[in-house]
Amino acid sequence: MKNHLYIFGDSWAYGAELDPGTRRQQNYAGQLGVMLGADQVRNYSEVASSISHMHLQVRQAMIESVGDDSKKTAIFFLTGQQRFLFFDMDGEFVNLNPSGEYFHRPMQQKYESLFKEINKFYYKKIQSKQADDISLNTNLLAFQTLCKHHNIDDYYISGWQTLNLWPEVDATKIYRQGQSHCAELLGLLSKKGTIRFEIPEKNQYIYPHGSHPNAQGHRLIAQTLYDFIKSKNIDTKI
């Protein structure tokens, strides 16, 4: 039986700032695939994605795997919980970002000024920690249910935020150590617990990138995920 590894997430999972020619091999998806002995790695991650947006990624993966009886393992990268998925007037998705730096496709250029106003209004008048917690947990419950339905072995890792989980969420599938996110893993936390990207030259896992892991950083994430999966399974070959 073939073994396939599915990756869902944002620019960290995609491998932003890595050399485009070697991105698939250097990002943690490619490196983890080798460690797990995967026959194929399918990375559905998209830059600036939100947690809710991963539902679209999962649906695309399920469409493309119809009739595929391979053994499947999925890794979900949990990006910033404040990011928000909505759809424009043409039914195309947009992910709002609290930084104001979001990505839209060329076909959406005509809505750029509107998106900026929506982004500003959402984070000023609507977004809240309580709503983010509800969205995080309902999405996790949905992902876990979908994976169980499709017989996918699912695992999760947070990018840079501590997760406030409901008891109904299966926390055994979520990497949890310390503050339980990649920013801590890569040494990006200051003594005050804030994330620091402003001095990447002092971080071996980021430099020379601005705000994404380099190949060594991806290697550390891949090894962490491998060890986590290994702790849950006697046989580490997926």
Q: Indicate the angle between helix axes 215-232 and 28-36, nearest 10 degrees.
A: 40
* Residue 235: per-residue pLDDT: 54
Structure tokens at 218: 């991806």
**Structural domains in the chain plus CATH codes:** 3-82+127-181+214-231 (3.40.50.1110)
Alpha-carbon span 29 to 75, nearest angstrom: 9
Per-residue DSSP letter, 180: -
Question: How confident is residue 179, by pLDDT bands cut at 50, 70 and 90?
Answer: low
Question: How confident is residue 200, by pLDDT bands cut at 50, 70 and 90?
Answer: low
Question: What average pLDDT does range 44-54 have in this prediction?
Answer: 96
What string of DSSP letters covers 154-210?
A: EEEEESSS-----TTS-GGGB--STT-BHHHHTT-B-TTS-B--S-GGG-TTTTT-S
Tell me the one-letter amino acid at 206.
I
* Residue 180: per-residue pLDDT: 77
Question: What average pLDDT does range 59-71 have in this prediction?
Answer: 91
- For 114-147, what is each residue's pLDDT tens digit? 999 999 999 999 999 999 999 999 999 999 999 9
* Residue 164: per-residue pLDDT: 94
Instruction: Share the mean pLDDT of the chain.
Output: 91
What pTM value is reported for the model? 0.93
Sign for the CA dihedral angle at 32, 8, 177, 211 comes to positive
Q: Where are the alpha helices (DSSP H) in the chain?
A: 11-14, 23-26, 28-36, 54-64, 112-121, 129-149, 182-185, 215-232
Residue 152 β-bridge partners: 72
Comparing CA positions, the residue from 14, 46, 48 lying closest to residue 30 is 14
- For 99-108, what is each residue's pLDDT tens digit? 887 677 889 9
Structure tokens at 207: 């430099």
